[in-house]
Amino acid sequence: MVVDINSIYVYISGKVYKGILSNKEHVAIKHIIKDGKVETFVREVTSLSHINHPNLVRLVGYCSSKQHCFLIYELCPNGNLANWLFGKDRVLSWIKRLEIAVGSARGLQFLHTYSEGCIVHRDIKPTNILLGPNFEPKLSDFGLCKVIEIGETYASSEVRGTFGYVDPEYQNDRRVNSSGDVFSFGVVLLQILSGKKVFNLNLEKPIPLNKMVSNPILIFTIPTEK
């Protein structure tokens, strides 16, 4: 039973609320409006109900009605990685950046080598990496994930994911496999190192990734104090 609740995040198909269970545990409650989004609910429940890893967000419970679905997760009080990389007056030390990168990689490796099938996330990006009380990273939002045989591929009817993070090969052939997540994670690593967004819709000409990596100004102007 939820004894207290308030909204903390709004996304396309619903809202995320902060709540307190009757056992005093603080949780995040993801509200999914069923209007065409029931597939997202089923995927998240199926993916997270049987797996457990310190670098994956923990699913506490779920419930469903005719028009609404609710997913209850552990609360990650430090928000998501994007807020800390791109938000104002927020700074991550190099040690924290390294720990977040390594922890996220461990979570991704667990998904890709899971004994019951490779779980391809398909939407790895800073907003889907949540940060626990000690800034431990936890991969979240499994609404686009696909479970396939390890080493195999899956032919998708459409390209799913977020612009700027989608593997170009996947965009061309629409074959889903773990390498797409690896590409997306590489983009995230570049952002962790540079502290910059790798794409900007306001720019007439995007900055090439290799220029971001080779430009020392982008790398060494990051504040080092948390």
Main-chain phi, psi angles of 9, to 5 degrees: -160, 140
Q: How far apart are CA 69 and CA 53, in angstroms?
A: 24
Burial 188-219 (b: 16+ CB within 10 A, else e): beebbbbbbebeeeeeeeebeeeebeeeeebe
> Which residue is catalytic, options 123, 141, 167, 181?
123
For Cα atoms 59, 102, 120, give the angle at the middle one, nearest 5 degrees: 50
Q: How far apart are CA 190 and CA 29, in angstroms?
A: 31
* Residue indicated by tokens 């603080």: 26
H helix runs in the chain, sequence order? 38-48, 81-86, 94-112, 168-173, 178-194, 209-214, 216-220
Residue 123 annotated as catalytic: yes
Quick one: CA dihedral 183, 188, 189, 191, positive or negative? positive
Q: How far apart are CA 174 and CA 211, in angstroms?
A: 28
Which residues are known to be catalytic?
A: 123
